[in-house]
Structure 1
Amino acid sequence: MPFKKSPVTDIFGIIAPSYKEKVSRFNLQEKKKKRSDKSKPPFSITAEFILRFNETKNLKEKEKLLDLARKILLKCKRKLGLSTLGTGKHVHLPTTWIEVSFLAQCKGEIQDEALNILYTSLDHASFYYDHPPALFFLAESVFYRLCCDAFLKPYLFSVEIKLAKIGYLISLRLFIYFLYGHLESFKEHLLRLQPFLYALSFSGESYYMYPNIFSSVQFTLKVLEIICKRELPSDSIFSHGKNKNQDECTDSHMEYLQDNQKSYEVNNLLWHCVAVWTCVQKNSPQLNNVLEHLTFHKTQLQKKCWMDSVLALMVLGEAAKLNMACLKTLMDIMKDFLLSIMSVQNQKENGSVDFSWAWIIVYIYITILTEICLYAAFSNLRKAAFIGFCDCKNSKKYILPLDKSEQQPELKETSFLGLLDYFSSKISHDCDEVIWIGYYGLVYNLVKMSWELRGDEEQDGLRNLMWQTLRRTKNHEKDERIQNAINIAEAEINDPTDPFISYNIKVSSEDEIFSKYIGWRVANILSKLFFPSADILPLKKPETKPHKTKYLYKKQDSMKKKVLHFTVREHTSVADVPMFPYPDFFTKRDEELTRIIEHYWEKELKIRQKEDEITEAKECEDKKLKEKNHFKEIMKKREEKLHKQTKPYELPPRTEVISSEAKMTSPN
């Protein structure tokens, strides 16, 4: 019951104690608040901060929050090691990835910049044992936004492109950890990804007309299908075209679904591509032999289990950035693949074979070829990837107006301009999806390449040829799909309009529009897995013998390990798997030259020091001899003038002094 106060007790008995209680409670709350404030760092990202940032309308508070968000971004850039390729004592990738994913929920330029640095970090970061938990968190965040936000919008926006590209890098990294057998302890995380697998599988109709996103989503779905051990729904557009016979394309990837103890069978094409890359890195004389064996397995590119084929092309593309023979082999393999799926005779004879997946191989090859045109080690490699080997002297024909009366060209080689000429001659409204998607990818990447090479004086000639080719395509290509590719690429580069942000922000000139390092990281980590310590590569794939896989953990887990069939050696120590990349041939050569120069320079310094000592001693002797001769001349002149043999300022002998004193005291 409520206490009824009297006036006297109200003043002297009751009010005073209640006031003390209020003061004590207030002090306690203040202490708790101070403790909580001390426990949180000054630049922490919380749900309250994100809500205030997105919903505040006060200009002063908005500026204050924007300044704070920029400071958090700067801190994240440093912790991600963007300038050091993710290495350094100050770098901690998993925690910072999560912070950046939180920061990407802030609207405006902060969201745009956060997604950019997240994409850049996922591109160049190494593979470490503690990354999978953060990668799973990023996967859930990215897939949630794609499924729940992007699908509901009637138009395509730049954030969807960035999210799809980030999802592609995340799924690629998870697949590498899957090959290492490192995802068996993340069953709960894999279960949480299954709803996104089903939701993304029905996004085909939204992205089918945008192959730049559609290919990333397709790759992501394939990885989720493998690591989550689930097949796509039959009514999904991604599963369309499956045969009832389930030919040999029953997906070697899905063999492990029946029994977890079964091994992951590595494709011979992928194995040989990793062998080629290892030979290039070690400057092995066996490179030509390995390339010859690689061509024997080029037909495996036509198999429906295309995940290994994508990795094989990626690894071989990294080797092609350093070696001309590898580039020629890559282009020949792709030419054989295109001719086999495009020939009418082959389609009639193998009518039961489904090539509905072939477009993703073509699109990824075009992306790899674009990266070679931009980032190859030598200019002749970049020129050959863009122009080709056959028609280097006749490249002007690609910048002239199209002549529809000419006979349709044949596919001579799969250079960038060769594919552009071939696909542009066959484009039509009812053409095969390989043709229009391939043409779309060429034009889309041509716009981005022209933008990437801006201001590079060393590649003015190549950029000029790209610009003229693009101008020709813009003026003479009327297909809406190809015009759409140009518009999307230009919008992605210049000024995106986004439903997820409240203001228009231009993309920074430092944004990464291509993945520069992920291919090299994948090739490097696969070479450590396939050839852990092999100095000389075997020319043939060894017989399948079970052995324990290497784990990326620092400590061995007690769980059951998978079995790999691509090497015969057993390695029991996790320390044998280096997580840092070995130096390549050029780095080793530079280090060796530096060591030799330093050795001979030290030797030259010792020789010069001895010569200086000898010269100095000789000069000292000459100086002493000169002084001695000079003194002799002085004494000779003194004796002639004064008839004295004493030195200057030297007293005469005692007898001469006495005789002179006697003469001075004589009586005379």
Structure 2
Amino acid sequence: ATMSANNLRETPLYYEELFNFYIQSLRRKSDFSRSLFPINANFILKFNHTQDPVEEKKLLEQARKSILRCKRKLGLKTLGSGKHVHLPSAWVEVMYLAQCKGEIQEEALSMLYTSLDHASFDYDHLPALFFLAESVLHRFCCDAFVKVFLYSVEIKLAKIGYLIFLRLFIFFLHGHLETFKQHLLRLQPYLYALSFSEESYCKYPSIFSNVQFILKISEIICKTEVSESIFIHEENEEEHKNIDSDTGGYEVSHLLWHCVAAWSCVQNNSPQLNNVLEHLIFHKKQLLKKCWLDSALALFVLGEAAKLNMACLKALMEIVKDFLLSIMSVPSQEKNGKVDDLSWAWIIVYTYTTIVAEICLYAATSDLRKTALIGFCDCKSSRKNVLSMGKSEEQPKLGETNILNLFEYFSSKISDDCDQVVFVGYYGLVYNMVKMLWELRDDEEQNGFRNMIWKTLQITKDYEKDERIQNAINIAQAELNNPTDPFTRYSSKVSSNIEEDVFSKYIGWRIANTLSKLLVPSLDAHVLPSMKPVVKQDRKKYLSKKQESMKKRFLYFRVREHPSLSELPMFPYPDFFTKADKDLAKIVDYHWQTELNLRRKEEAMDEAKKLKDKELEEKNHFEEVMRKREEKLHKQTKPYELPQMTEAIS
């Protein structure tokens, strides 16, 4: 199923063909002339295969200049905004630079990952996103699969592909992929090959979860936008049976909608937040449904709200705790007989471990960060249990779903034949804590926070004998550009001037903001930028026209009569936030009433069915009594009924 590099062209030559196809799908081809891109396939081949030290130095200098130019065009210091920023062309050039071996490749991929994390959503980015998607998939299927070992660049490619397909899914919800069917068809052979990657990545949940996101998003997009799909996976009826014109033919779950509504309430400081969270808790069982992509996005959005609000953090921990208790209860699984249906649950668990780690680092207040680490109960018992790991014989129970409690819970259940959820949860916590420790390395104000994480990791190194958990520490260190790469056959030192982003700091906020404008529109909300091209006028002509219009403009004044006191309003006019809260309350009440009506109809149907069954049971019982009476007494009269009265009545 995998693609061999021997059956295809070299990767740089393939990129030239892909670039030509990409140019044809652009409206403004003048911005993407080949002369504007000094990096091409010939340059990459010379850079990777040259043996001349003088030419090698010259090519490296040219690549460095391209790196500096791409940094400016990506707007890495301005979150992708500014007059000098042009993301589509910069993405294409950076992907070309990522073909160069060594430090240039590492730095180019780090730049691309950072840009995809913080860039805004714009329809004009779609052709470049498809170029990046096919490039990453090509390298996965033609380069990574032919290697017998895992290498650090492969980890970065998985993270970049994850961000690319998350962005494509948001555009899909807005209905913007209808004109890109040919691009989707080009992706399908690579996606088919990637679907057989479980054996390669199942030991590394940090990579395998990214691959599963890519496959799940592409499966949904291809089945909706393209008539035929090459995926052999069983179709999920819950995801495709409902059609919603507002979200590109895909109906989002109630859980995701309420998480987006909660995020909007936090952003607007709405008093409706408690009501929205109450409805959100009511839909927490939807986290157990097989359509896990909606559940993962819901956790992303709610996690962004939890970085700002304690009530949202409490709701997030509550629904995840209920989810873990449900999937870890063996009797309920045996009763339902659907243990295989929970094979996807590890993705939700790993996603939550990443989210709670981000809350520990980037939450707005110290109380939020502290709660995400040690929980709501400010007691030292949980910390003592974690620090005395390996000495306690009692099996801890799942209390709260903060980092330390989850660490204690999963570490006590780890074994060679443990459930996949336990292994992935434990792996995700250790993996993310290593990255947290690296992120807090220069923050002197967080010394106590950092020491707690360091002690926990040190105990893991001392007491944990499972090699899979020890690999989590090694992979995290390799991802952070540790001087020694444990996945190659030699030690490769990476330049220290490369700044690597530990977590995706902005993509969650971008997704929450975009989904709120689509699912919970307010008075000032606008959807993604229009698909119509923006006509750019000449600056000089524009200034001359503006000056002429200013000359012809006059100001007119008109005296208005002052209204009487009876005409003045009794109360001041509502401000914007009051109107927005009212609109949001109407939307929430509407969905809540719809849900209540459905529940009432279901309850009425159940009552009618129970009544009908009871009447049928009574009728059958009476007939049985009469049959036995006739057999014993040879009488057809009812009990306590006189024959004379029966004859008289007849």
Same fold flag (TM > 0.5): yes
Structure 1 contact 387–416 (Cα < 8 Å) conserved:
yes
* Distance in structure 1 (CA, Å) of the matches to 2:111 and 2:460: 33
Match of 2:570 in 1: none
Deviation at 1:413, TM superposition (A): 0.8
Give the alignment partner of residue 516 of structure 1, picking from 505, 527, 530.
Answer: 505
Match of 1:289 in 2: 275
Structure 1 position 49 matched with structure 2 position 43: yes
Structure 1 position 388 matched with structure 2 position 375: yes
Cα-to-partner distance string for 1:240-271 (whole Å, 9 max, x where unaligned)? xx6xxx8xx523146569x9999321200000
Match of 2:615 in 1: none
The 3 A distance-change label for structure 1 pair 535 and 70 is: closer
Match of 2:345 in 1: 358
The 3 A distance-change label for structure 1 pair 180 and 438 is: same
Q: Determine helix, strand or coil for the equivalent of 1:202.
A: coil
Structure 1 position 490 matched with structure 2 position 477: yes
The within-5 A match list for 1:608-619 is none
The 3 A distance-change label for structure 1 pair 410 and 497 is: closer
The within-5 A match list for 1:15-414 is 44-229=38-223, 233-234=231-232, 239=233, 250-253=237-240, 263-352=249-338, 354-414=341-401
Deviation at 1:177, TM superposition (A): 0.2
* Distance in structure 2 (CA, Å) of the matches to 1:351 and 1:264: 29
Structure 1 position 468 matched with structure 2 position 462: no
The one-letter amino acid paired with 1:57 is Q
Structure 1 position 553 matched with structure 2 position 547: no
* Distance in structure 1 (CA, Å) of the matches to 2:277 and 2:72: 42
Unaligned stretches of 5+ residues in structure 1 = 1-38, 537-548, 558-583, 586-668
Structure 2 contact 284–319 (Cα < 8 Å) conserved:
yes
Give the alignment partner of residue 435 of structure 1, picking from 391, 403, 422.
Answer: 422
The one-letter amino acid paired with 1:105 is Q
Unaligned stretches of 5+ residues in structure 2 = 1-32, 535-575, 578-650
* Distance in structure 2 (CA, Å) of the matches to 1:164 and 1:476: 31
Name the stretch that deviates more: 483-492 or 466-475. 483-492
Deviation at 1:328, TM superposition (A): 0.6
Structure 1 contact 369–416 (Cα < 8 Å) conserved:
yes
Identity percentage of aligned residues: 66
The 3 A distance-change label for structure 1 pair 507 and 335 is: farther
* Distance in structure 2 (CA, Å) of the matches to 1:261 and 1:50: 41
Structure 1 position 416 matched with structure 2 position 403: yes
Structure 1 contact 398–417 (Cα < 8 Å) conserved:
no
Deviation at 1:233, TM superposition (A): 4.9
* Distance in structure 2 (CA, Å) of the matches to 1:392 and 1:88: 48
Match of 1:631 in 2: none
Cα-to-partner distance string for 1:102-141 (whole Å, 9 max, x where unaligned)? 0100111000000000000000000011011000000000
The one-letter amino acid paired with 2:56 is K
Structure 1 contact 302–337 (Cα < 8 Å) conserved:
yes
The within-5 A match list for 1:573-588 is none
Structure 2 contact 159–210 (Cα < 8 Å) conserved:
yes
Scaled by the length of structure 1, the TM-score of the pair is: 0.71
Q: Determine helix, strand or coil for the equivalent of 1:228.
A: helix
Deviation at 1:348, TM superposition (A): 1.8
Structure 2 contact 386–407 (Cα < 8 Å) conserved:
no
The one-letter amino acid paired with 1:190 is L
Q: Determine helix, strand or coil for the equivalent of 1:251.
A: helix
Give the alignment partner of residue 445 of structure 1, picking from 417, 423, 432.
Answer: 432
Structure 1 contact 193–228 (Cα < 8 Å) conserved:
no
* Distance in structure 2 (CA, Å) of the matches to 1:399 and 1:421: 6
Match of 2:494 in 1: 505
Match of 2:441 in 1: 454
Greater C-alpha Rg? 1
Cα-to-partner distance string for 1:299-346 (whole Å, 9 max, x where unaligned)? 000000111111100000000000011001000000000000111221
Give the alignment partner of residue 532 of structure 1, picking from 521, 535, 539.
Answer: 521
Q: Determine helix, strand or coil for the equivalent of 1:160.
A: helix
Cα-to-partner distance string for 1:598-621 (whole Å, 9 max, x where unaligned)? xxxxxxxxxxxxxxxxxxxxxxxx
Match of 2:638 in 1: none
* Distance in structure 2 (CA, Å) of the matches to 1:101 and 1:556: 25
The 3 A distance-change label for structure 1 pair 499 and 142 is: farther
Cα-to-partner distance string for 1:431-488 (whole Å, 9 max, x where unaligned)? 1100001101111111111111101011111001000110011100001110111111
Match of 2:622 in 1: none
Cα-to-partner distance string for 1:413-441 (whole Å, 9 max, x where unaligned)? 11011110000011111111000011011
* Distance in structure 2 (CA, Å) of the matches to 1:406 and 1:46: 62
The 3 A distance-change label for structure 1 pair 503 and 59 is: farther
Deviation at 1:404, TM superposition (A): 4.7
Match of 1:590 in 2: none
* Distance in structure 1 (CA, Å) of the matches to 2:460 and 2:505: 27
The one-letter amino acid paired with 1:553 is S
Q: Determine helix, strand or coil for the equivalent of 2:237.
A: coil
The 3 A distance-change label for structure 1 pair 407 and 129 is: same
Deviation at 1:40, TM superposition (A): 6.9
Deviation at 1:509, TM superposition (A): 5.7
The one-letter amino acid paired with 1:519 is G
The 3 A distance-change label for structure 1 pair 262 and 521 is: closer
Q: How many residues are aligned here? A: 497
Deviation at 1:501, TM superposition (A): 12
Deviation at 1:490, TM superposition (A): 1.6
Name the stretch that deviates more: 75-84 or 224-233. 224-233
Name the stretch that deviates more: 499-508 or 292-301. 499-508
Structure 1 contact 182–552 (Cα < 8 Å) conserved:
no
* Distance in structure 1 (CA, Å) of the matches to 2:490 and 2:240: 40
Deviation at 1:499, TM superposition (A): 6.7
The one-letter amino acid paired with 1:186 is F
Structure 1 contact 317–372 (Cα < 8 Å) conserved:
yes
The 3 A distance-change label for structure 1 pair 386 and 424 is: same
Structure 1 contact 398–469 (Cα < 8 Å) conserved:
no
The 3 A distance-change label for structure 1 pair 81 and 337 is: same
* Distance in structure 2 (CA, Å) of the matches to 1:414 and 1:376: 17
Cα-to-partner distance string for 1:481-531 (whole Å, 9 max, x where unaligned)? 101111111222203367799964246462112100000000000011112
